[in-house]
Structure 1
Amino acid sequence: MSRAFVKEPDGNAAFDELPERLISPNPNLVTESGLAGIEAEVERLSRAYAEAQASGDRAALNVAARDLRYWTARRASAELVPAPAETGEIRFGARVTLERPDGRRQEYRIVGEDEADPAKGTLSYVSPLARALLGKSVGDTVRVGPGEMEILEIA
């Protein structure tokens, strides 16, 4: 097909109008490490923006500018939540050890949306599992998929 009939931009023009990164409508709750991560990302992107500007790399400049706008907004809206002082019930920032019906144990920490990575043991506080866990205590069970998980420890 001739390129005359395709409206997709070529080369660097594809980066001229990047869509903005969506910002969650939920409160931007963060742990201390989450806030530090946001600060580090703003610094990294500020350097990337300056480097792209100096080199005249329009594509890199647009990507860095878009991501810098996102992380700057996340830093501005961050609400630091201190680690829970009590471990009697699950709250934001708590580490929770769960036991699956097959005996496997899993540990998760409930954190902010931007710092969540279930593969690394962190869950966003708005995730279905975290919502089911919040307010529960040791010995309680939560329904997850076809089975239930027991809460073994809260730290």
Structure 2
Amino acid sequence: MRIALGIEYNGTNYFGWQRQREVKSVQEELEKALSVIANHPVEVQCAGRTDAGVHGTGQVVHFDTNVTRKMVAWTMGANANMPSDIAVRWAKEVSDDFHARFSATARRYRYIIFNHALRPGILNSGVSHYHGELDEKKMHEAGQYLLGENDFT
């Protein structure tokens, strides 16, 4: 059986999505939690990796298991076994040909610039701070090159 999960995470305390030796990753935390629920090692595939410190919302992953559980067991169980900065938001059984990365039809990226003379205290992990004057017209013009279908590989 193949299960897809929708997850979100605050990447501040992680060295990115992908499992790595000797450093914390979102993938490792999720796989450890799911392995507890499945009673066997679980490996997940994701729609797209994130770098160190980057947050994810709406990230889709999938994994295979031969264990039958209600979908709520996967969501609640995983959340109970992970740090509070990672959350499974939904679970759904999908067909065996579904792949989180290759079945994705869209990806969206959001960058927030906090444009103020002084840096924020509470928002510091969710925004980029820039204290100088920004040229919104030039930013908008440059942003047009990122719209549409692009192959950034």
- Category of TM-score, reference length = shorter chain: under 0.3
Q: Identify the structure with the greater helix proportion.
A: 1
Q: Which has the higher contact order (CA 8 A, sep 6+)?
A: 2
Tell me the TM-score normalized by structure 2: 0.24
Tell me the TM-score normalized by structure 1: 0.24
Q: Which has the larger radius of gyration?
A: 1
